[in-house]
Structure 1
Amino acid sequence: MEGITLADRIQAVLDKESSRIVGRFMKDVDLFGGIKEVCKRFDLEAAQFQCIGSLSHATYVQLEKTSEGVLQYSKKIISDSPVELLSGTGFVGLGSDGELDVHFHGMFVDCHQQISGGHFLDGENPVAITIEFILFPLKDIELKRGNDLYSNLPVFQFSMKE
């Protein structure tokens, strides 16, 4: 396996008629890193995507309420076994730093037959066997992280490209 690059571990093809990109990530590709790599390959700054497959482990957070009733994210949760990603969906846009950023939520079942899910974290969800995906490019839309008016959390802001 020595000498194999990230690009070698990603299959991605463009269906010209629908402008959709489909493919898969192979073992050890990080889910977010793979999505970003495909977006770079096809010169995308905004897209919606869906995926299914398996992860060596899932790393995510979930919403919780503080004792004061304020919503916040939990501490990082890491599954203690490989998982089957039953449903995953997200958006790709630009972060406040101008780099590609992924917002992804998924539902999975672990090796204990427990179903869970949440807001997955960047760089911490490696593929176990395969992840199959479809990307829906958003050519005329700009997605850029900005603080939400109500929560003050950084969320994607949607606008038309100028």
Structure 2
Amino acid sequence: MDNLRIQAVFDEASHRIAGRLMKDVDLFEGIKEVCRYYDVESAHFQCFGSLQYATFVQMERGDEEGSVRYSEKIRSTSPVELLSGSGFIGYGEDRELDIHFHGMMIDCDRQINGGHFLNGENPVAVTIEYVIFPINGVGMQRGVDPHWGLPVFQFSKRSGS
């Protein structure tokens, strides 16, 4: 796969995909496009690079002792260097490809921040370089966690594997 927006190369020996997302491509949408192209249904991926801005939430203490919740949406006020990012690719409750991704970044004011990134709100500034590690024998499907009531990936052995 090589176009004006995304580069991706499948390595037959390691069964990994490496490449880059170019300016203006959304981080999640670009990774999902690569996965669709190579028929990847579940995977782990790592990446770093730069974003025009980052949109994420962070864990915070809940109202009751021992409880937690997520913050309101946070959007960086400048471009950021994504120092480290890691995520899983699976299926959402809508049966479409979905990503669960956490990253650490530094902004133009040299402030380090990070958290749980949000879908469709992290456009590339210069480049994002990535490696996707397909997981062929495992199914990942979002389902509601019974304790927290949040949709999280549920892991299962894929039939036929």
Normalising by structure 2, report the TM-score. 0.95
How far apart are the structure 1 equivalents of 2:82 and 2:125? 11
1:28 aligns with 2:50: no
2:76 aligns to what? 79
How far apart are the structure 1 equivalents of 2:77 and 2:130? 24
1:62 aligns with 2:58: yes
Work out the number of aligned pairs and report it: 157
How far apart are the structure 2 equivalents of 1:156 and 1:140? 15
1:38 aligns to what? 34
How far apart are the structure 2 equivalents of 1:136 and 1:25? 16
How far apart are the structure 2 equivalents of 1:124 and 1:50? 18
Letter in 1 for 2:15: S
SS in 2 for 1:8: coil
Sequence identity, in percent?
61
1:10 aligns to what? 6
1:7 Cα deviation after fit: 4.9
* Match of residue 139, structure 1, among 125, 136, 139: 136
Normalising by structure 1, report the TM-score. 0.94
SS in 1 for 2:4: helix
SS in 2 for 1:23: strand
Once the two structures are overlaid, the 10-residue window that deviates more, 30-39 or 68-77, is: 68-77
1:3 aligns to what? none
Return 5+ residue gaps in structure 1 as ranges: 1-5
Q: CA RMSD in A?
A: 1.1
SS in 1 for 2:154: strand
Letter in 1 for 2:29: G
1:155 aligns to what? 152
How far apart are the structure 1 equivalents of 2:43 and 2:49? 20
Letter in 2 for 1:47: A
2:46 aligns to what? 50
How far apart are the structure 2 equivalents of 1:101 and 1:7? 23
The equivalences for 1:83-162 within 5 A come to 83-162=80-159
Letter in 2 for 1:161: R
How far apart are the structure 1 equivalents of 2:136 and 2:93? 19
